[in-house]
Chains A and B, each alone.
Chain A
Amino acid sequence: MIYLITAFYPEAKAFIDYFGLKKLYEPSKFQIFSGDKILLIVSGEGILQAAIATTFALTKFGANDKCIALNIGICGAKKKSLSKGDVLLCNKIINHYSKRTFYPDILITHQMKEVSLETFPFPIKKDTFTDEIEGDIVDMEGAGFFEAALSFLAPHNVHCIKIVYDFLDYEKIEPQEVTNLVKQCIPFIENFINTLVDMNLVFCTNIIEEEKIREVVEKLKSSLRLTTSMTYQLEKLLKSYIIRHENLPENISEFFNINVNSKKEGKQYFEKLKKILIS
C-alpha cells in the first residue's frame, strides 16, 4: 500500500484526479481517498495533525515491510537557488520545536533536487521571523509525519516530497495554483513511487517456499508424533537443507508413512531424520 499524506485538499486534489481516487466514507475526522493500492489522507495543517493522520492511516489500514508513506505538499524556500514549482526530495527533516532530526534512507535514483526541510509549528515569514532557519525549505507538517511514519515503516519507505510555493513572503495561498503546481510534479513523484515499489518487490522477496515446507512438516508431525519443540526444529532443519541442496532429501518420503507407537520410537526416527537433514 502507498500512503499519501497531504495537509490540504488542494494538494490532494491533484492526486485524486490523476489516480482516480474515490472518497472513502470511513468514520474519521480526516478526508480519506483510495484507489488501486493507494490511500490518501488529508491531515489538516500542522505538525500534530500530520502525526495523527499518519498514525491513524497506518494503524487503521495496516502497515507492512513493503508499505510506503509519502508526505507531499507545498513549502516555503529559503534557498535562493530554488524556483517556484521545484519538486524536492528531503534528505533531512528537522523538527524546529523539538530539535529532533530525521533522515530518510535514499536508496534509489530519482530526478528531484535534494534539500533539508525544517518543520515549524507556525507559518514563517522572513521579515517577521528573526531566528536562524536551518533547513533549505520550511513547512508545517513534515517532521510530524516523519516521526509518526517511522514508528511503523522502514526509513527507506518514508519520504517527504515538497514543492516550492513561496520564498517566505506569501500573502495568501491560492488553492487552484497549489493544485496546478502539485499536478505538474506528479510525473516525478509517480516515477519515485514506482521505483520504490519495484525495489521493495525485487529485494524483499522471500526465497524459501514456506508453503511446501509447512506441508512436509505437517505430514511428518503426524507420522512421527513430533512434539512442538521437535516440529519447530524440523522446520528449521528442512529450510536449511533446502537452501543447501535446493530440494528435499530423496528418502524423506520414507518417513511420511511411518506410524510410530511410542514417544521413544518417534524420537528415534526424528534423530535419524535429523542426521539426514544435517548433511
Chain B
Amino acid sequence: MKNLKKSLLAKHFSHIYIEREIISHPITKIILDKFPNSVIVEIDNYKEVFSRPRQNYKLQEISKKLILAKKKGEFLYPGPPLCHDFGYNHFYYTSLIFNCIFSCDYCFLKGMYSSANIVIFVNIEDYFKEIDSVLKRHPLYLSVSYDTDIMALEKIVPFFSMFIEYTTSRKDLTIEIRTKTADYEVLQSLRPSENIILAWTLSPQEIIEKFEHKTPSLSARLETIKKAIENGWKVRLCFDPILFTKNWKEIYLKFLDQVFKQIEPFKITDISIGVFRIPKDYLKRMKKVFVNEITLFPYEEENGIFTYPDELKKEIMEFFLSKLIQFIPESKIFTI
C-alpha cells in the first residue's frame, strides 16, 4: 500500500491556492519560495476551496494542499470550556492556521472542518494589532496553537518565531504554544521569555504509533523538551487526551516512568491532564469519514460533549493522577 501511495498520490502542497488580495503579501512570498514546483491557483476567497461540499477529509489528508488567505473579522476568541484556562481570567485563543501537518485519530479538527487542507492566514500584522488593542484593556492569556501546530509548521511559515518575538516585548501577554514537534532547530535562534509557555502534548509510544500518525516519537519529543528546559524555556506537559485502549494501565504506567526518567519534574512549569472528549457534532462528522478505534467507541454524552462513560472516565483519571503525583506535586497539575 505504501508503494501504491507513492506512485499514485500528489505530494503534499502540490497545489497552493492563493487569495488574489494577498498575492504580494511578504508572508505569501516567504511561503511560495519554499514550494517552487507547486501549481499556483488564484482564488477570490479561501472558502471556495476550503468549504467545498462533499470533500473527502481522509483522502485529502494524504495529499494536503495549502490555501493562503487573509483573515477578516474576529482575530481572538474566548477560550473554549473544553480546554484548561490554567487559572487565567482572560483566556483567549487565536487561529492563524487551520489544520495541522500531523494526523491524530482523536483530533477535533477532523470533525471541525470539512477539509484537511491547510489554510494559512498570512496577515499576522492584523492579529498583532488586535492583540495590542486588547492589551490596552486588560492582560491576556492567549493560546496560539489550538487549531494547528505552529511550531511544527515553522519551516513553512515563520509564525512561531514571529509570535515569540512579539510576545517577548509585551509583558501583559502570556502565550501558550502547544506542539508535538521534536524539531529543536526552530528554537535555536530564539530567546526564551517568562511569558511564553511551550506546551508539549505527550503520549505513550504505543499510543503515538496507533493514533498519532506522522508525529515524532515520544523519545524524540522528550529530547527536545529536555533541551528546551536546559536553555531556559518554560515548559508545560499536556497528557491530554488520555485514551482508553487495550492494556491502557500498563501503557500509561510505563509512559510516566519514561517521561520522568528523562525530564526532571521540578523543572516543569505545570502539567495538564484530561481524557478524550469532543463536541457531539464533531464526532458525528468524524464518524462519517473515519472508521477507527476513536470514532467507534460508545461514548456518553453530557451537555453536547461526548466522552467516556462516567465510571470509566473516573477510573482513568484516578489511576493516572494517583501515579502522576508520585512524580510531581498535585498543585502543579491541572485536570479537566
A91 near B54 with CB under 8 A, answer no
Is A202 interfacial (CB-CB < 8 Å)? yes
A203 near B293 with CB under 8 A, answer no
Is A207 interfacial (CB-CB < 8 Å)? yes
A109 near B59 with CB under 8 A, answer no
Is B190 interfacial (CB-CB < 8 Å)? no
Which B residue's beta carbon lies closest to that of A92?
B41
Closest CB-CB distance, A63 to chain B, in whole Å? 11
Chain B positions within 8 Å of A155 at CB level: 52, 54-55
Q: State whether A103 and B63 are in contact (beta carbons under 8 Å apart), knowing that A108-B9, A108-B10, A244-B293 are contacts in the complex.
A: no
A114 near B39 with CB under 8 A, answer yes
Chain B residue total in the interface (Cβ 8 A): 37
Cα A276 to Cα B24 in complex, Å, equals: 60
Tally of A-B residue pairs with Cβ under 8 A? Answer: 96
Q: State whether A243 and B296 are in contact (beta carbons under 8 Å apart), knowing that A154-B56, A155-B55, A206-B291 are contacts in the complex.
A: yes
B41 near A236 with CB under 8 A, answer no
Cα A203 to Cα B2 in complex, Å, equals: 11
B292 near A107 with CB under 8 A, answer no
Which A residue's beta carbon lies closest to that of B210?
A244
B298 near A108 with CB under 8 A, answer no
Chain A positions within 8 Å of B59 at CB level: 105, 107, 154, 156, 199, 203-204
Is A116 interfacial (CB-CB < 8 Å)? yes
B17 near A103 with CB under 8 A, answer yes
Is A198 interfacial (CB-CB < 8 Å)? yes
User: Chain A: interface secondary structure?
Assistant: mixed
B14 near A106 with CB under 8 A, answer yes
Cα A236 to Cα B44 in complex, Å, equals: 43
A150 near B245 with CB under 8 A, answer no
A105 near B41 with CB under 8 A, answer no
Chain A positions within 8 Å of B296 at CB level: 236, 239-240, 243
Is A258 interfacial (CB-CB < 8 Å)? no
Cα A129 to Cα B312 in complex, Å, equals: 70
Residues of A92-135 whose CB lies within 8 A of B: 92, 101, 103, 105-109, 114, 116
A107 near B10 with CB under 8 A, answer yes
Chain B positions within 8 Å of A154 at CB level: 54-56, 59
Cα A103 to Cα B48 in complex, Å, equals: 8
B246 near A103 with CB under 8 A, answer no
Residues of A184-226 whose CB lies within 8 A of B: 195, 198-199, 202-204, 206-208
Cα A37 to Cα B52 in complex, Å, equals: 27
Is A227 interfacial (CB-CB < 8 Å)? no
Q: State whether A198 and B298 are in contact (beta carbons under 8 Å apart), knowing that A101-B43, A203-B62, A245-B246 are contacts in the complex.
A: no
Residues of B125-159 whose CB lies within 8 A of A: none
Is B58 interfacial (CB-CB < 8 Å)? yes
A103 near B293 with CB under 8 A, answer no
Chain A positions within 8 Å of B8 at CB level: 108-109, 195, 198-199, 202
Closest CB-CB distance, A161 to chain B, in whole Å? 16
Chain B positions within 8 Å of A239 at CB level: 291, 296
Chain B positions within 8 Å of A240 at CB level: 293, 296-298
Chain A positions within 8 Å of B55 at CB level: 105, 154-156
| Size band of the interface chain A makes with B | 35 or more
Cα A243 to Cα B294 in complex, Å, equals: 9
Which A residue's beta carbon lies closest to that of B117?
A105
Which A residue's beta carbon lies closest to that of B45?
A101
Cα A103 to Cα B1 in complex, Å, equals: 28
Q: Which of A114, A202, A236 makes the CB contact (< 8 A) with B1?
A: A202
**Mask for B188-216, Cβ within 8 A of A = 1, else 0?**
00000000000000000000000000000
Chain A positions within 8 Å of B280 at CB level: none
A107 near B41 with CB under 8 A, answer no
**Mask for A145-168, Cβ within 8 A of B = 1, else 0?**
000001001111000000000000
Chain B positions within 8 Å of A173 at CB level: none
Cα A236 to Cα B297 in complex, Å, equals: 7
Cα A227 to Cα B170 in complex, Å, equals: 61
A103 near B52 with CB under 8 A, answer yes
Is A233 interfacial (CB-CB < 8 Å)? yes
Cα A233 to Cα B296 in complex, Å, equals: 11
B48 near A244 with CB under 8 A, answer no
Chain B positions within 8 Å of A101 at CB level: 43-44, 48
Cα A206 to Cα B288 in complex, Å, equals: 11
Q: State whether A116 and B60 are in contact (beta carbons under 8 Å apart), knowing that A105-B55, A202-B1 are contacts in the complex.
A: no
Closest CB-CB distance, A11 to chain B, in whole Å? 26
Cα A236 to Cα B309 in complex, Å, equals: 14
**Mask for A239-264, Cβ within 8 A of B = 1, else 0?**
11001110000000000000000000
Is B220 interfacial (CB-CB < 8 Å)? no
Is B53 interfacial (CB-CB < 8 Å)? yes
Chain B positions within 8 Å of A207 at CB level: 291
Closest CB-CB distance, B248 to chain A, in whole Å? 10
New contact pairs (6) apart from A105-B60, A199-B8, CB-CB < 8 Å = A198-B4, A202-B5, A237-B298, A239-B291, A243-B293, A278-B298
What are 20 of the A-B contact pairs (CB < 8 Å)? A91-B41, A103-B43, A105-B55, A106-B39, A107-B59, A150-B53, A153-B54, A154-B56, A154-B59, A156-B56, A156-B60, A198-B8, A202-B4, A203-B58, A203-B59, A204-B56, A204-B59, A207-B291, A236-B296, A245-B246
